Amino acid sequence: MYTFKINDKEIKTTKNMSLLNFLRDEMQITSVKNGCSEGACGTCMVLLDKKAFRACLLTTEKINGKSIMTVEGIEEKERKIYEWAFAEAGAVQCGFCIPGMVISSKGLLDININPTENDIKKALRGNICRCTGYVKIIEAVMKVAKAIREGYEPDNSYTGKIGERTPRIDAQDKISGKAIYSEDLKIENLYYGGAVRTKYPRALVKKINTSKALETSGVESVYLASDIPGNRNIGHLSFISDWDALIAVGEITRYIGDAVALVLAKDKESLKRGIAAIEVEYEELQPLTSPKMSLEENAPKIHEKGNVLFSQKLSRGNVENALKSSKYVVTHTYKTPFTEHAYLEPESAIAVPTKHGVHLYTSSQSIYDEQREVSRLLGVDPSLVEVTSNYVGGGFGGKEDMSVQHHAALMAYLSKKNVQVTLSRQESINVSTKRHAMEIEMTTSCDENGILTGMKCNILSDTGAYSSLGGPVLQRACTHASGPYNYHN
């Protein structure tokens, strides 16, 4: 038996488990966020005997006899100061990191109410914010310290009058941890779903054996591509739906994030065991790892229509003349890499079956696209797919695609159960689309006075295995290629 205090309340448990999971799943304390579960992000920060620690690195056994505080446990008068200061400083955007920031700040201010900027930076070094940047957060902590020192009692009500400085309307909920993100949503009789991902980026799926998974205790059901009632392909651009929700037996995977089966289970542990019990026979094939490789004459076609998604040509003036008649001409090749969007909230969705369709609760950026894509997948009228967006813990364009929403919806529709699908940080990195890598050959010319005369640019953009937003992204790259400069050619 382990005994400890959480927000001054004595708790006893026989379960030895991650403190993060204990707080979120057993205690329903959702200000403590799960950004990575591996000690990297700081969204799960708690005070352990007044010192800031990451809950995902602690267990109930490790905190035996100790005391834990979360944002919910901060005394109301003090919490109002944090709510005022973080909102006033504009330190809150998606808000997913903020309760953790508040905890680390409190850990500092409880022992040093007159901190320097460096003291604050040191106290926050375990907390990552992807949206705001740290300047405003540091400013907020300074404001909290000053307010506590001077006994200031903020009035957190705002009239919303035009001309009056007004903080964002959701700031207080995000700071106090009351804001509900998708994984925080509490729904009765919730089942947990997850995907079996391909072992190889490019492989022929020869056989899928689900029998061991179905015999695993706690596993409710397993779904394959053949179970999809509607259109198997999804795609953000309605005219190019090329992304298989599940890769079928006899078909070839295209990237490491491809799903080959879905498992539905009564709890998270059974889900892990069920996923591990699915047996897939593959024939590994050589993957296409760059646009250049996929443009080679004998390159295998990863989609029926070939490997080129989209070509865009943009021209103005007469660039060949400009280059020929300019004093100086410079050509360089530039490369930009794939970039992970790195939102702090991993993808999460809950689907609840309705009489003829589903109600989806998501953390995505694009509810109407989800309605369209999910209804096509289920083969139902879009009006039968309702979508509610919860708070979004950062997106940056990376949460426009389907990642978990369609899988949650499919499992809920087929099983008639409430289903949650949440990606782990590693799975999110493997599955999510990235900022497109590009290879850019650019020729620039100018006259003897350095006045720019012409620019010619060839861009090869890597959209990855699926179209996603590759077309519009390439178009944007073309229209923005000249940067802020005034070229006439």
Instruction: By CB under 6 A, name the binding residues for ligand FES.
Output: 34-37, 39-44, 54, 56, 92-98, 129-132, 344, 394
Least separation in angstroms between CB 431 and ligand FES: 18
Least separation in angstroms between CB 32 and ligand FES: 8
Residues in the chain: 489
**Using CA atoms, how far apart are residues 265 and 81, in angstroms rounded to an integer?**
43
Q: Return all residues near 383 (Cβ < 8 A) that are at least 6 apart.
A: 357
**Using CA atoms, how far apart are residues 300 and 199, in angstroms rounded to an integer?**
20
Least separation in angstroms between CB 424 and ligand FES: 10
Least separation in angstroms between CB 323 and ligand FES: 45
Shorter beta-carbon distance to ligand FES: residue 89 or 477? 89
How far CA 41 is from CA of 90, 128, 170, 313, in Å, comes to: 21, 5, 22, 42
**Using CA atoms, how far apart are residues 61 and 328, in angstroms rounded to an integer?**
70
Shorter beta-carbon distance to ligand FES: residue 56 or 455? 56
> Is-contact 329 323, C-beta < 8 A?
yes
DSSP string for 219-237: EEEEE-GGG--S-SEE-SS
Least separation in angstroms between CB 340 and ligand FES: 14
Both structure tokens of 185: 């949503």
Q: Would you tell me the crossing angle of helices 405-415 and 367-378 to the nearest 10 degrees?
A: 40
Place of tokens 């309760």: 99
By CB atoms closer than 10 A (0-12, 13-18, 19+), residue 303 is middle
Shorter beta-carbon distance to ligand FES: residue 126 or 230? 126
Question: Any idea what DSSP says for residue 301?
Answer: P
Least separation in angstroms between CB 344 and ligand FES: 4
State phi, psi for 125 to the nearest 5 degrees: -70, -20
Shorter beta-carbon distance to ligand FES: residue 36 or 259? 36
Shorter beta-carbon distance to ligand FES: residue 258 or 347? 347
Least separation in angstroms between CB 101 and ligand FES: 7
Shorter beta-carbon distance to ligand FES: residue 133 or 250? 133
Least separation in angstroms between CB 267 and ligand FES: 20
Least separation in angstroms between CB 132 and ligand FES: 5
Shorter beta-carbon distance to ligand FES: residue 71 or 344? 344
**Using CA atoms, how far apart are residues 146 and 208, in angstroms rounded to an integer?**
62
Both structure tokens of 132: 């705001």
Name residue 319's amino acid.
V
Shorter beta-carbon distance to ligand FES: residue 96 or 223? 96
Shorter beta-carbon distance to ligand FES: residue 39 or 464? 39
Least separation in angstroms between CB 30 and ligand FES: 13
> Is-contact 444 455, C-beta < 8 A?
yes
Shorter beta-carbon distance to ligand FES: residue 103 or 129? 129
The 219-223 sheet, strands edge to edge: 219-223, 259-265, 190-197, 418-422, 348-353, 358-362, 385-389
State phi, psi for 286 to the nearest 5 degrees: -70, 125
